[in-house]
Amino acid sequence: MTLSRAELVQLHRDLVRTPSVSGEEGDAIALAAGFLESHGLAVERIGGSAFAWAGAPVGSDLPFVLFDSHLDTVPVCPGWTRAPFAADLEGERIFGLGANDAKAAVAAMIASAIALPHAARGELTLGLALVRDEERRSAGTEEIVAELARRGLAPAAVVVGEPTRLDIAIAQKGLLVLELVAKGEAAHAAHARTLGARNAVTELARDLLAIEALLAGPSGPVDRLLGAATVEPTMLSGGTARNVVPAEARAVLDCRTVPNEPPQALRARLAGVVAGEVVVLSERLRPVATDAAAGLVLCARRARPEARLYGSATLSDMTFFAGRQAIKVGPGESARSHRPDEFVTVDELAAGAAFYGRLLEELAIAGIAASAVEARA
């Protein structure tokens, strides 16, 4: 069965109308699961996310393809001029929180699973993961990956649905979260100069400027697709009272990492130019890359010849598929995400569903074996 353009738009708007801020996405997951079940797909719950099966029976010798996207959204930000959950359709634009990131990909993936091309039904198994809590902790996909591993199921190819203008991200930066801790000496603000008390805020400022100077030059490895690692201070704290020189000040550093520089190497580079302590808060989200000659990538390019291959600076659940053929691709534009009056166009939505369908056809023909794909290229 194939969803009509009107049915696809209706599904997408229904998803947008269902609030699903991270941690509160249960209703949206239930809606998506119910829709899939009503169209004949087997759906199960894995750790609070929905997982649907289509195509060949699970556990057969045929390739297992995983489609993965998230139903949760960030909270409503200031600046909206429309009701964020109204899913208003104005001309060709559908407005609403999550309309672009990533409910457009979710709706398009659901449509492709329901309409799994006849030629592909007996040639591959499709798993569709519609996950929770991606925006905060990437918890949903991590749970699903663990459960699939427990069952001895390993996807041969993974497609992560995010707004990429249907360009194909074959590499993605990782996330290393550090805390820079500067030490000073508590003292009355009126006497600090006389006492020579070190101000932790001033020490922290010097360290931040030292990091900025370090990264301004050619100080670290450069990845062909992703460039160099980046470091941005995003949160500052320090001080206990207006009239007390702070004994400690802290800055959270958001570091986007690249495959050819391990997190510990980046941390060491930063620690080498600062006086304060550099503490690791999180390093679980690693960079990931897929070879441009991999079978999945070649199939995706055949499904959309005009798509460009690129490296993505933004995170997604692609991070959990290192070592597998994985790409990030979907309808919409990343620049619209997490902004007021978020939207996606009807044409983008329809193009996304068509692309995912063509990709499944190509994967079925190729068997996802690189040699078979290359023989047809």
Band (pLDDT 50/70/90 cuts) for residue 119 is low
Model pLDDT for residues 189-202, shown as the tens digit of each residue: 999 999 999 999 99
pLDDT in tens, 138-151: 999 999 999 999 99
- pLDDT higher than 80, residue 227: yes
pLDDT at 120 over 80: no
Instruction: Count each helix (H run) and each strand (E run) in the chain, helices first.
Output: 11, 20
> First vs last Cα of the chain: how many Å apart?
30
Q: In Å, how far are 10, 30, 106 from 36, measured between CA atoms?
A: 14, 10, 12
Is 106 in contact with 32 (CB distance < 8 Å)?
A: yes
- What are 135's two structure tokens? 């925006």
Q: What pLDDT does residue 118 have?
A: 66
Which residues are CB-contacts of 88 (< 8 A; sequence separation ≥ 6)? 82, 94, 95, 96
pLDDT for 363: 95
Mean pLDDT of the region 92-111: 98
Distance CA 134, CA 73 (A): 8
Is the per-residue pLDDT at 373 higher than 70? no
pLDDT tens track for 251-260: 999 999 999 9
Report whether pLDDT(111) > 80. Answer: yes
Over range 71-90, report the average pLDDT: 97
* Averaged pLDDT of the chain: 94
Give burial (CB, 10 Å; 0-12/13-18/19+) of 178. buried
Q: pLDDT tens digit string along 160-178? A: 999 999 999 999 999 999 9
H or E stretch including 108? helix 103-114
The residues annotated as belonging to the active site are 134
pLDDT tens digits, residue range 322-346? 999 999 999 999 999 999 999 999 9
Mean pLDDT of 49-74: 93
Structural domains of the chain, ranges and CATH numbers in brackets: 5-172+287-376 (3.40.630.10), 174-285 (3.30.70.360)
> Considering the entire predicted model, what is its pTM?
0.90
Among residues of the chain, what percentage have pLDDT more than 90? Answer: 90
Q: 60: pLDDT confidence band, cut at 50, 70 and 90?
A: confident
